[in-house]
Each structure stands twice: as structure tokens, then as C-alpha cells.
Amino acid sequence: EDQVTQSPEALRLQEGESSSLNCSYTVSGLRGLFWYRQDPGKGPEFLFTLYSAGEEKEKERLKATLTKKESFLHITAPKPEDSATYLCAVPTKGGSNYKLTFGKGTLLTVNP
């Protein structure tokens, strides 16, 4: 069964304290891995797509990496405004079409 697992469920950091979030997946034939950010009361906002092992994408203090089994979202010198829930998702086959399956997310809190 296709699965997406994120860890930790919650992470609390001090401002400037770098760390990583993990997204592991079991999917036959990966067709991409997506990272989203979700602020309270809002819809998820697209961050990155990674398509192949070894690929990396960066945006400000965030860098996403991909291996054959998992993806990491590295947060360098975070600021309080980086506080949000971070979601990863992979396309999974549903019948003849692909659908996006999400992990449960990591709630990141960055304290000033």
C-alpha cells in the first residue's frame, strides 16, 4: 500500500537553530514528491517539487532533498515567520489516474 509518513509530528526550534523535517514514502515508481506549507486557517501553499533521487531545491531558508526512500526539508537559521505546518505529498495511482496522497504534516514552531 502506498504510504507517506512525516516525522516528527511537531518540532519546536529557537530562532536561528537549524533542523530538518523528514518525509518517508513507500510508492512503486515515484512520480514526484511535493512539499507544501500551511499556515493556520489557510490552504496549503506549494513550495517544491522533486522528481528524482539526488535532486535538491532551495527557497530562502528552505532546502528540499530527495533520496529513493525519503525526502528532507532542511531549515537553515529559521525565523518565527517560518512557523507553520509542512506537508509532503506523492502521486499515487488510483485506477487509471494519479491522485496526490499527503502525509499528516510536521507542525514547526520557531520561537524568537
Partner 1 sequence: NAGVTQTPKFQVLKTGQSMTLQCAQDMNHEYMSWYRQDPGMGLRLIHYSVGAGITDQGEVPNGYNVSRSTTEDFPLRLLSAAPSQTSVYFCASSRQALYGYTFGSGTRLTVV
Residue 30 Cβ vs partner 1, minimum distance, rounded to whole Å: 11
Among 31, 59, 69, 79, binds partner 1 (CB under 8 A): 31
With CA atoms as reference, report the closest residue to 43 among 11, 107, 98, 87: 87
Q: Does residue 29 belong to the site contacting partner 1 (CB under 8 A)?
A: no
Q: Does residue 100 belong to the site contacting partner 1 (CB under 8 A)?
A: yes
3-state helix, strand, coil in the chain (%, to 5): 5, 60, 35
Which residues does residue 81 pair with via DSSP β-bridges, in sequence order?
Answer: none
Q: What does the binding site for partner 1 look like in residue numbers (CB under 8 A)?
A: 31-32, 34, 36, 41-46, 49, 87, 89, 91, 94-95, 97-105
